[in-house]
Structure 1
């Protein structure tokens, strides 16, 4: 008889489902904000504000060894996160939303493969079954596949691969103890690791904006002229960045990357529900069935 899941595993699964829900809403919210400001500048504002909010709390009571450990682990993870957000944001701008939803959900398939290759942990048959059901649901949600490949499609596919690598890399960083660490040394706090990642994305997109945009970054929109931009930014900073990154980094200490990929892979389904409820978009019977399969597969795996 299989052992009952631990309470921490259940909380980790719940946290990851909440991450998927808030990330699903982020596409519609971000599109509204991008009407006021360029992609790279918007990402810089979002993640630098996140860093400013997290840093005072994250640094309190930490030791020099913990800060060095956070830098050593957080810089490469932050570079991965930077690549993910740049690929996703530009990809959504250059491909239909249905295709973007399908392609980004392929991280559900890539994560068990990456976990097997990078961490030597072979996923169970139940995980592969849930992956197959979730993939079928994503295809139904996307309405099938029509037309050839575009640059936006390639960016979304790259983001899905990077998400799978990110899940494995974060899990390994959260669990790995450096051989050079002193015996009994305190582990790197999750909040401090998240702060370093946010700083890398914020500073990286800021530098890219000034270097790559022909006229550099324009002045920030004012509250009077673009209050919608700042409301959207506040939601994305507090919900989709601070909460989501902290919750995902914490959950990866208590669950496997494959479960993370499966649970957060329901993001397109929640995004579709948000589009119907908030943005007034329509979703046919095929789309509802696809979303139900994705969410059902994730909930079944979480219950197991």
Structure 2
């Protein structure tokens, strides 16, 4: 593995650890602020910080740059809206695990939009992941509970998969830091407008809520998305999706530690199958060919 690739992987893993906390942090703050209001404040703070720190890198911005960044921002905003509203209807652990199916949608969208063919292994992994999602959402009485919250979590996974593909393109064309900073501005403006239309705009009512909001805005947004843009210059969309899928591990862990959410045996089995599908998908074809060769009789 090249040194740049290794550094990119480790950087993405750090960003993913930050994102893994957002399920629990957002779950806490939803008791005081509405979903769009949270997004608005979170990205407004992140935008201000990035503009202050990187204002010199925001010169010479073109109309084409703004258009592409706006389009990119819309998909990230849709992903955030889906997840924030999902947390009103499902557990943080369920949202984290289902949101992790992004890793499966990235290669599928690469095939649809970029014309890259998928082999039997990929389709097998998609099916295995769907079984995992089903087990993850089973109730104790064995009824499937794929409700509105789970649908929104899946919507988050789909829109974020498209976002990863778009970042792969735009991060190689423009300054990643400039794109990330302008993206924060666009999302802050759009989500603020939507908040005034559909919700009641409020500021955090106490110190603890402000503290959570700052955690969401700084490490989980300003820092994490700059890291993603910089790292994706040195890795592929599918590889990025694999690393970001570890967000489900961090999300489930923090939901257990901080919220006391407990998964059943079937839920754990479902999560395990999802992880198996992810790693099978990422194994090189040569690995399976070598295994078959070893099993052939002399």
Q: Is the 8 A contact 1:137 1:290 kept in 2?
A: yes
**1:232 corresponds to which residue?**
212
Shift of 1:253: 1.4
Deviations 1:69-99 (A, max 9, x none): 5423311111111111111111221234454
TM-score by length of 1: 0.79
CA distance in 1, matches of 2:143, 2:5: 39
Match of 1:203 among 157, 166, 189: 189
**Is 1:160 aligned to residue 157 of structure 2?**
yes
CA distance in 2, matches of 1:68, 1:81: 20
**Paired positions, count:** 282
Q: Is the 8 A contact 2:94 2:136 kept in 1?
A: no
Shift of 1:44: 0.6
Q: Is the 8 A contact 1:123 1:258 kept in 2?
A: no
Match of 2:88 among 63, 71, 93: 93
CA distance in 2, matches of 1:47, 1:257: 24
Change (3 A) 1:92 1:278: closer
**1:151 corresponds to which residue?**
148
Match of 2:40 among 34, 39, 44: 44
Instruction: Within 5 Å, give how 1:51-70 maps onto structure 2.
Output: 51-64=47-60, 66=61, 68=63, 70=65
Change (3 A) 1:149 1:124: closer
Shift of 1:294: 5.8
Calculate the aligned-residue CA RMSD, in Å.
3.0
**Is 1:78 aligned to residue 73 of structure 2?**
yes
CA distance in 1, matches of 2:280, 2:2: 16
**Is 1:221 aligned to residue 204 of structure 2?**
yes
In structure 1, the gaps of 5 or more residues are 177-187
Change (3 A) 1:236 1:155: same
CA distance in 1, matches of 2:101, 2:282: 19
- Which structure has the highest helix share of the two? 2
In structure 2, the gaps of 5 or more residues are 285-298
